[in-house]
Amino acid sequence: MKIVRTAGLIVAATAALTGVAGPAFAATATTPEPPRTVDSLKAKVDAKATHITAKLTALQTKLATKPKLAAARTTLQADITKALADTAAWRKQVDAATTKDGIRAADPAHEAVKADLTKLQTDLAAAKGTKPAA
């Protein structure tokens, strides 16, 4: 029995090394993603900007109904207004771009939106009396 087991192990190892082991050992072929176009990048930015705008608008209306946040309402409202303005500026810059380099040139505006959202999150957490999510 020991000889049969050793022979089977040698045959399996040889088959695996030579590539005749079958589909279980075959490398899976992946199809590369098509390169991103200017239009696809614009669509992605537009979707993100629309999502951010919708969330901030909903937060604006929710803020008016929360008495617990009344003390920080002006700060939060200013943060939301700035984030909405920067989001609109980012979207406008990307929409005006005609090349990928033009879209990359709008990255500082995107970073400004990210910074605005981070500040809003920090201020909202402080107003609620909790720590911001890291």
Nearest CA to 46 out of 80, 97, 82, 81 is that of 97
Q: What is the pLDDT of residue 75?
A: 92
- Counting runs of H as helices and runs of E as strands, what totals does the chain give? 5, 0
pLDDT along the chain (134 residues), means of 10: 62 59 56 85 95 95 86 91 96 94 94 96 87 54
Check if the beta carbon of residue 86 is closer than 8 Å to that of residue 111.
no
Q: What is the pTM of this model?
A: 0.70
